[in-house]
Amino acid sequence: MRKSLFYLLVLVSLVLGACTPATATQAPTQAPANTQVPAATTAHEAVTLRIYLLDYTADTIAWLNSEINPAFEAAHPGVTVEITEGSWSGWDTTFSGFFAAGDGPDIINLGSEMNTLYGESLADMDPYLGEAAWPDVANFGPAIENAKYDGKLRGLPIFTAPRYVFCRTDLAQGTLPPQNFGDWVTFAQENTVIDAATNSLTQQALVPVDAGSMADWQWWLLVFYSLGGELYKADGAPNFDSPEALAATEFLLDMRQATYGSALDAVGSLPTGQGSVIDVNDETGANNGAICLAHSGWAAPAFDRPVWDNVSIEPFYGDPANFPNSRPVVLAFNDWLAVPEYSPNKELAAEWLKTAFSRDANNKWNETMGLIPARNDAQFGYVVESEQLKREAELASQYGVGFAGIEESAILSTIMQDALGKLITEELTPADVVATIQSQYAEALD
Amino acid sequence: MPTNPYLSVLLVAAAAVLLIVLFSLGLARTARFAARLAGATRNQQANTYGGYLFAAPWILGFVIFVLGPMAFSLYWSFTDYRVTAAEAPALVGLDNYTRLILRDSGFRASIVNTLFLTAVGLPIQLGAALGLAVLLNQQTRGERLFRMAFYLPVILGFNTAVLLCWRLMLNTGTGIINQLIRALSAAFPPFGWLNRAGIFVVELVNALFLGLGSGKFNLLTAVWEAGLPAANRVPLWVQSPLWSKMSVVMLMAWGCGAMMLIFLAGLKSIPRELHEAAEVDGAGPWRRFWSVAFPLLTPYVFYNLVVGLVASLQIFEPIFVLYRDNEPLVSSAISMVYYLWQASFSHFEIGYGSAISWLIFLIILGVTAIQFRMQKHWVNYDLY
């Protein structure tokens, strides 16, 4: 009996001892959070509103923590706002954990195409953010559609980040911007330079999303939409067997070959440099290597860079010579904040969103990132003062096409990347590629 | 329910401790009772009680965190379960398995890629580990420094800084690895020829494996017909599907430190007298290694082979690190476990992902069983 008691005591002390360090290490980080809660909280229910943001700038987070959250906490005694910063690299694993456990942040950060991916697990926020509850929602531009699923609001969009074609006018040979596919291929041949000694690019005519392969699925979609292509047929079936899909695929291969030559030439890609690929290296004075960049403002030079004197901003014009339905396109991406169905604090989350997405706050939030606010009435100040942003906002309103409404977007992305990866190695012909995507995507939708 | 989150945490922790204690006592008492029934002496009963009491926390953890999830995973593998669908898993019988084995070309490609990484990467990894261990066994100055340097990659793992370093080093145009190859090719023309021949062989083998994965061999034909690459060719490490797997192999070889330590321990355990006897008989260093040291190292080779094979069949991290943000290359390097991750955490098909994980488990189990059956033909336990 005495022996059993001894064993028991040792066991309990071991278990308690194992628990102690975790408690001790958590204490210092938790203590300040308590001190931020106003004294009045004792009279209210203490709630922590958890927000998960992905890859925002330090300026944005600092602004949220210094202005928005204190103001919100003051207006909602007893509530503490806690921002967790994550990364787009690996977000899907993290989010699947939240949804599988039915527990996680009250507000999560999503990308444009994710409304279909997560829609069923997101809360219907119409009762809190619909026009009847919050008239301000009428001021959001087309990006608000990306924050809906099944016709109901699931959150609010932060910004619009369309993909433009930025070109260095001082370096380009030939007419800018190329107006059809043939012009682009000629442009690529004339403006690409390969160093014979290293068999690597030293100048690349066009750097689209993923410079190395030039065959990213998002770039494909932009080209496809510019031809007037529709992703789905009237009956909801995929439309990869359309002439537009084949032409977009052939264009990607033509551009790749006009830049890198045949796959067997094995030309090395542009060196990884600092800053935007269309910018100039301050230390060496050399250009970073790209003549044109088809990307969002994220990949363009900072607005205060001198290179902007020689940069044009255009939409992608499609191929009107061969496809009469072609239209200039800027593919509009946006980040939005959604409220998961599992959140017990939906109303509070909606209140925070209203605070952070007011006219002035939406403007300020985007100013910290140099992007275009999703609210139309928030496009003032820095947006109109900057020539670049003014131009970008004009193009977005004229030619913006949403990157949303894609069914099974994650699976489509995998299917397309797999097939397009084989296009650039010439394992598959363009016809094989679209046939593969069509059959695999149709099966996925079934 | 308490609304203070800190109080909730404390209560949950207290409940967890209580559960562990109660479970431990219960298990220990049950074990002692069983021992008594089996006719054990009082001393044996006390030992049984103590043994199970101390093992019980681990057993509980194993049940909750390993057996429990395994049981759920097995159940989900027979269901259509999407974590974002807000619907309960629906039983689909063997559908996930039949789709996986008969119709999923992506999974087939992932098996082929994993086979490549195992067949090419593992021997290179074992060779590098053995080579380094032999060098470190030479009692040279700075041995400890080298030992630490070679083991450091195991500690560093595949974090962001390591990823950035490797991406910079593997850059086709400006990466240090290709710069070295260019410099050596220019300085020593025979090295240039060797480099071109190496590139040709690597691309040919990779084109073959890509063809096995996709069922189309036109790339293999094209590489063969193109013949020996041009003099200015360098490997396109993280740029071309023909090189994406070789970059992973390089990372595997870089992380061979753990294997190296095992080999080093084996080399140091070989009695010096055996080497001296062979030397007296006129055996040179090469002969002594292959005829004396290597046969006695075979248990260590076997251990590293089993562990390495299991690790390479489960390879995920290097591929994730190198290609997560370079999607066009993923399909050329995707492994079985990366495919499992993609299905489960990118497409959110937990049911299908569970089926993949069980199939991988069976494959690893089968391969390991074969290795254990084969060991009697080549592993030498005479010294042990």
Question: Has residue A40 got a pLDDT over 60?
Answer: no
Residue A179 and residue A289 in one domain: yes
Question: Has residue B207 got a pLDDT over 50?
Answer: yes
Residues in CB range of A375: below 8 A, 6 or more apart: A136, A139, A140, A141, A357, A359, A362, A363
Tell me how many domains chain A contains: 2
* CB contacts, 8 Å: A23 with chain B: 13
Question: What is the average pLDDT value for chain A, to the nearest integer?
Answer: 87
**CA atoms of B274 and B363, how far apart (whole Å):** 40
Residue in chain B closest to A416 (alpha carbons) equals B328
Residue A232 and residue A313 in one domain: yes
Q: Which helix (H) or strand (E) holds A108?
A: strand A107-111
Q: Which of A157, A192, A190, A131 is nearest to A337 (CA)?
A: A157
Which CATH number characterizes residue A369's domain?
A: 3.40.190.10
Residue A208 and residue A339 in one domain: no
Residue A361 and residue A297 in one domain: no
Residues in CB range of A238: below 8 A, 6 or more apart: A231, A232, A437, A438, A441, A442, A445
Return the ∠ at Cα B286 (arms to B285 and B288), rounded to 5°: 60
Q: Which residue has the tokens 């609001």?
A: A153
Are B236 and A197 in contact (CB < 8 Å)? no
Are A410 and B347 in contact (CB < 8 Å)? yes
Are B331 and A341 in contact (CB < 8 Å)? no
Question: Has residue A17 got a pLDDT over 50?
Answer: no
Least-confidence region, from A9-18, B20-29, B241-250: A9-18
pLDDT in tens, A212-267: 889 999 999 999 999 999 999 999 999 999 999 999 999 999 999 999 998 888 88
Question: Has residue B141 got a pLDDT over 50?
Answer: yes
CA A314 to chain B, closest CA, distance in angstroms equals 26
Whether residue A322 is contained in a domain is answered as: yes
When CB atoms are compared, the residue of B50, B84, B223 closest to A7 is B50
pLDDT in tens, B268-287: 999 988 889 998 999 888 89
Least-confidence region, from A112-121, A130-139, A435-444: A112-121
Least-confidence region, from A30-34, A71-75, A165-169, B92-96: A30-34
Whether residue A229 is contained in a domain is answered as: yes
**CA atoms of A283 and A270, how far apart (whole Å):** 18
**CA atoms of B257 and A30, how far apart (whole Å):** 39
Written as six digits, the tokens of B30 are 């049950």
Q: What confidence category does residue A10 fall into, taking pLDDT thresholds of 50, 70 and 90? A: low
CATH 3.40.190.10 fits B101-172+236-377, yes or no: no
What residues form DSSP beta bridges with A157? Answer: A336
Q: What is the pLDDT of residue B13?
A: 94
Question: What is the average pLDDT value for chain B, to the nearest integer?
Answer: 91
Written as six digits, the tokens of B166 are 């490797």
Mean pLDDT of A309-323: 95
pLDDT in tens, B351-382: 999 999 999 999 999 999 999 999 988 998 87
Q: What confidence category does residue B329 fall into, taking pLDDT thresholds of 50, 70 and 90? A: confident
pLDDT in tens, A45-87: 689 999 999 988 899 999 999 999 999 999 999 999 999 999 8
pLDDT in tens, B39-67: 999 999 999 999 999 999 999 999 999 99
Are A270 and B173 in contact (CB < 8 Å)? yes
Written as six digits, the tokens of A411 are 């699976």
Q: What is the pLDDT of residue A45?
A: 67
Are B84 and A117 in contact (CB < 8 Å)? yes
The top-scoring range by mean pLDDT among B20-24, B151-155, B254-258, B342-346 is B20-24
Residue A211 and residue A324 in one domain: yes
**CA atoms of A145 and A130, how far apart (whole Å):** 13
Question: Has residue A12 got a pLDDT over 80?
Answer: no
For an interface test with A, the pick among B11, B159, B237, B239 (most A C-beta atoms closer than 10 Å) comes out as B239
- Residue A444 near residue A411 (C-beta atoms within 8 A): yes
Residue A300 and residue A416 in one domain: yes
Q: What is the pLDDT of residue A42?
A: 41
* CB contacts, 8 Å: A418 with chain B: 106, 330-331
Mean pLDDT of B300-323: 92
Question: Has residue A8 got a pLDDT over 80?
Answer: no
Higher pLDDT, B22 or B232: B22
**CA atoms of A211 and A78, how far apart (whole Å):** 49
Question: Has residue B140 got a pLDDT over 80?
Answer: no
Mean pLDDT of B116-128: 95
Q: What is the pLDDT of residue B216?
A: 84
Written as six digits, the tokens of B295 are 């046969």
CA B148 to chain A, closest CA, distance in angstroms equals 30
Helix (H, G, I), strand (E, B) or coil at A213: coil
Mean pLDDT of A319-343: 93
The top-scoring range by mean pLDDT among A425-429, B25-29, B227-231 is B25-29
pLDDT in tens, A141-184: 778 888 999 889 999 999 988 899 999 999 999 888 899 999 99
For an interface test with A, the pick among B160, B164, B240 (most A C-beta atoms closer than 10 Å) comes out as B240
Q: What is the pLDDT of residue B41?
A: 95
Mean pLDDT of A382-402: 89
For an interface test with A, the pick among B347, B350, B352, B354 (most A C-beta atoms closer than 10 Å) comes out as B347
Residue A220 and residue A277 in one domain: yes
For an interface test with B, the pick among A36, A264, A446 (most B C-beta atoms closer than 10 Å) comes out as A264
ipTM: 0.79
Chains A and B form CB pairs within 8 A to the count of: 165
Contacts for B301-304: CB closer than 8 Å, 24+ residues apart: B301/B126, B301/B130, B301/B263, B301/B379, B302/B371, B302/B375, B302/B379, B303/B262, B304/B126, B304/B129, B304/B259, B304/B262, B304/B263
Whether residue A139 is contained in a domain is answered as: yes
Residue A439 and residue A342 in one domain: no
Other C-beta atoms lying within 10 Å of the C-beta of residue A41: 18
Count how many Cα atoms sit within 13 Å of the Cα of residue A381 in the half-sphere of its side chain: 17
Residue A166 and residue A314 in one domain: yes
Whether residue A94 is contained in a domain is answered as: yes
Residue A208 and residue A143 in one domain: no
Q: What is the pLDDT of residue B317?
A: 87
Residue ending a domain, among A378, A397, A416, is A397
Q: What confidence category does residue B117 fall into, taking pLDDT thresholds of 50, 70 and 90? A: very high
Q: Which helix (H) or strand (E) holds A204?
A: strand A200-207
Written as six digits, the tokens of A303 are 């607005």
Structural domain boundaries enclosing A199 = 162-332+407-445
Are B239 and A90 in contact (CB < 8 Å)? no
Mean pLDDT of B22-29: 96
Whether residue A37 is contained in a domain is answered as: no
Whether residue A304 is contained in a domain is answered as: yes
Alpha helices, H only, B137-243: 143-156, 160-169, 176-187, 189-214, 218-226
Residue A111 and residue A206 in one domain: no
Residue A319 and residue A340 in one domain: no
Are A414 and B350 in contact (CB < 8 Å)? no
Whether residue A249 is contained in a domain is answered as: yes
